[in-house]
């Protein structure tokens, strides 16, 4: 797999919640940090996403918002 995205993070699927149109996918990274993604229901089905599978969170964005408390 070749990608132009620079942020490719491997983890395990913790949970997949499928709705009428979209699916929420939670990937747990090493150190127990979680990344949540909303993808189409069809994409989740085509990829065969399910709890326990190893997967990659691939992040490509021109905007990253940083906040402080």
pLDDT digits (tens, 9 = 90+) for 28-56: 999 999 999 999 999 999 999 999 999 99
Domain that holds residue 23: 7-59
Q: How many domains does the chain have?
A: 1
User: Considering the domain boundaries, does residue 45 fall inside one?
Assistant: yes
The predicted pLDDT at position 13 comes to 98
Q: How many CB atoms lie within 10 A of CB 26?
A: 16
Q: Are 40 and 17 in contact (CB under 8 A)?
A: no
User: Considering the domain boundaries, does residue 64 fall inside one?
Assistant: no
The predicted pLDDT at position 33 comes to 95
User: Considering the domain boundaries, does residue 31 fall inside one?
Assistant: yes
User: Considering the domain boundaries, does residue 66 fall inside one?
Assistant: no
User: Considering the domain boundaries, does residue 2 fall inside one?
Assistant: no
Alpha-carbon span 25 to 40, nearest angstrom: 10
pLDDT greater than 90 at residue 18: yes
């Amino acid at each position: 797999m070749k990608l132009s995205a620079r942020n490719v993070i491997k983890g395990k699927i913790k949970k997949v919640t499928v709705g009428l149109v979209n699916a929420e996918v939670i990937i747990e990274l090493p150190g127990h940090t979680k990344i949540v993604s909303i993808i189409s229901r069809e994409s989740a089905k085509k990829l065969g996403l399910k709890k326990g599978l190893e997967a990659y969170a691939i992040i490509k964005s021109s905007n990253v918002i940083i906040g402080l408390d």
